Chains A and B, each alone.
Chain A
């Protein structure tokens, strides 16, 4: 079964119900290190960090142990968009050995709807191997989704004409001096430049998130520092979508307030976020809703 967007309590309820109706000897819970979990169960549960499952010390032991009386819980293991990824393939070897699988995830995708195929592969690899995403699949398996509807709101930050001139000059310089550097470094550098112009809009009684500690303010945290729930205003979005999704999951935020200037980099980043939100909602619209 695949369950998306559930809280810890709801996941616990799903596990309880599954264990009651099936003869399970032992459960194996694979989790992502940033989001460790603990569940109560009548049977023994072994917790293994997802990236560790490729290690010999787990791999051969688990291949020997996992049988049709084992339950595998994959909690937050959608960590790649690559369907040939080594860790993901190791997980398949375990999943192939038991019909009992519970797949929990916060969002149904990382960046695009194709990422959902990773979850479907976890559920039934033989059936979906090599196939692309189709909305019809959402109805063909035991999939329930509790939508996490994200709202994006921009908070305008005024900048001067001189700031705009500096920005244009900086942009030109970055392209001219690109040399052998990765072209993706240009928007990242411009984002930092634009972020610096937002300092004047930072209010002391509110919490903010930025890419680094450059502001030197106690109420501006980095993505790595945020591990629990809270309401943060975004100065710089994280340039890796997966990390930004982790931030939304950790904080429980459903409303993203983004400090925005009129500079092109902010327009591009907000547009990217809006497109991601639209793709997410397209999946929600066609999936069965978790009661």
Chain B
């Protein structure tokens, strides 16, 4: 259970102090935005401080092309809030993104050269369209995948010196992720940050904010926010379900189910842009299909289904990745269900890690056999 300890100071006051500290310590500051509520709050706080100090900071957005129109509008709004204090870092360059809804087109090449006629929208005149770093020093995390989303971020960050990168990560969203980034002080004695090369550091000034703190700030400051939140709320989606992110990767494909209702034009363009969108729309929340929670009728066990999926996996380049990974796992139905999810969602990157543990059902079954 996440334990929060309350102190006399509220999170807003603390965050303003944290941001002021970063401004005192760093000459170069870049705030990363995604168009969601957290980065909207963070960007506004950072830009307000920049405005107070009459300084300029970078606002970084990596445009994945397959995003809501509302996200694009929101990022444009954020970059226009304090134009005299903003350096626009809107990246629109070619990189690969996992497409979880198609096994035949497992990757989308965002802003792919030669496909400009079917791009989701035209590139912006003021965007950064070519790699602004030394190509000879370019790094790639996973050669199997190719140059991906995180490679753009890594290379961009590594090309900067003495820079503070501000990220809207909150501990309540994922305690595991938070533990990983805040294990050690990243800069001097500051724990809410991660150390990076070239005297840079990534800071998380909103780390102790709760969900409602974010919305209160947006309300109090009368900030504009992505329309998708309103659509989702009107649709009756739960508080935890309401989130804005990409539309096609393995953690966000469920957004395709509501997309035609929220943004019909975006859905229409996406259908033409990449394979599998209609499958995502129809089966994104289906327990037997893309959620992989219920075993299809023609298989007796998850092990059988896993073997079938592996045997018929269409991409010979990616198949050995799964085979090698699964060879290290336990061979039971509990693990096999999770392996099926990776195969169905094309998760060769292991973004949905498998809990490699004995099947908890066996324990319960044993208990009932003894009692009854």
Chain A residues proximal to chain B, CB less than 8 Å: 54, 56, 59-60, 63, 83-84, 86, 93, 126, 129-130, 171, 175, 178-180, 182-184, 186-187, 190, 264-265, 268
Known interface pairs A54-B239, A60-B219. Does A183 touch B3 (Cβ–Cβ under 8 Å)?
no
Q: Is B300 interfacial (CB-CB < 8 Å)?
A: yes
Q: Are A182 and B301 in contact (CB under 8 A)?
A: no
**Residues on B with beta carbons closer than 8 Å to the beta carbon of A190:** 372
Known interface pairs A60-B219, A268-B371. Does A84 touch B300 (Cβ–Cβ under 8 Å)?
no
Q: Are B1 and A84 in contact (CB under 8 A)?
A: yes
Q: Is B266 interfacial (CB-CB < 8 Å)?
A: no
Q: Are B240 and A86 in contact (CB under 8 A)?
A: yes
A88 to nearest B CB, angstroms?
12
Q: Is B136 interfacial (CB-CB < 8 Å)?
A: no
Q: Is B215 interfacial (CB-CB < 8 Å)?
A: yes
Partner of B300, one of A86, A179, A264: A179
Q: Are A187 and B1 in contact (CB under 8 A)?
A: no
Known interface pairs A83-B1, A86-B240. Does A59 touch B364 (Cβ–Cβ under 8 Å)?
no
Known interface pairs A54-B239, A63-B212. Does A180 touch B295 (Cβ–Cβ under 8 Å)?
yes
Cα distance A199–B300 when bound, in Å?
36
Q: Are A86 and B239 in contact (CB under 8 A)?
A: yes
Q: Are B301 and A179 in contact (CB under 8 A)?
A: yes
B40 to nearest A CB, angstroms?
17
B176 to nearest A CB, angstroms?
15
Q: Are A265 and B372 in contact (CB under 8 A)?
A: yes
Partner of A180, one of B219, B301, B367: B301
CB 8 Å contact bits of B207-247 with A (1 = contact, 0 = none):
00000100110010000000000000100001110000000
Cα distance A268–B372 when bound, in Å?
7
Q: Is B155 interfacial (CB-CB < 8 Å)?
A: no
Partner of A186, one of B219, B295, B372: B372
Closest B residue to A182 by beta carbon equals B361
Q: Is B2 interfacial (CB-CB < 8 Å)?
A: yes
Q: Are B239 and A175 in contact (CB under 8 A)?
A: no
Kindly identify, within residues 54 to 108 of chain B, every residue whose CB is under 8 Å from any CB belonging to chain A. Answer: none
B301 to nearest A CB, angstroms?
7
Q: Is B113 interfacial (CB-CB < 8 Å)?
A: no
Closest B residue to A167 by beta carbon equals B372
Cα distance A85–B371 when bound, in Å?
31
Q: Are A183 and B372 in contact (CB under 8 A)?
A: no
Q: Are A180 and B372 in contact (CB under 8 A)?
A: no
Cα distance A141–B372 when bound, in Å?
42
**Residues on A with beta carbons closer than 8 Å to the beta carbon of B3:** 129-130
Q: Are A183 and B361 in contact (CB under 8 A)?
A: yes
A171 to nearest B CB, angstroms?
6
Q: Is B365 interfacial (CB-CB < 8 Å)?
A: yes
Q: Is B6 interfacial (CB-CB < 8 Å)?
A: yes
Partner of A187, one of B216, B361, B368: B368
Cα distance A247–B22 when bound, in Å?
58
Cα distance A183–B364 when bound, in Å?
6
CB 8 Å contact bits of B264-285 with A (1 = contact, 0 = none):
0000000000000000000000
Known interface pairs A180-B295, A180-B301. Does A59 touch B365 (Cβ–Cβ under 8 Å)?
no
Closest B residue to A186 by beta carbon equals B368
Can you add 8 more A-B contacts, CB < 8 Å, to A187-B368, A264-B372? A59-B212, A60-B219, A86-B238, A175-B369, A179-B301, A180-B333, A187-B371, A264-B371
Closest B residue to A184 by beta carbon equals B364
**Residues on B with beta carbons closer than 8 Å to the beta carbon of A180:** 295, 301-302, 333
Pairs across A and B, CB under 8 Å, 5 listed: A63-B216, A84-B2, A175-B368, A187-B371, A264-B371
Partner of B365, one of A56, A129, A183, A265: A183
B37 to nearest A CB, angstroms?
13
**Residues on B with beta carbons closer than 8 Å to the beta carbon of A56:** 233
Closest A residue to B242 by beta carbon equals A56
A124 to nearest B CB, angstroms?
12
Cα distance A264–B371 when bound, in Å?
8
Kindly identify, within residues 1 to 57 of chain B, every residue whose CB is under 8 Å from any CB belonging to chain A. Answer: 1-4, 6
Cα distance A116–B339 when bound, in Å?
39
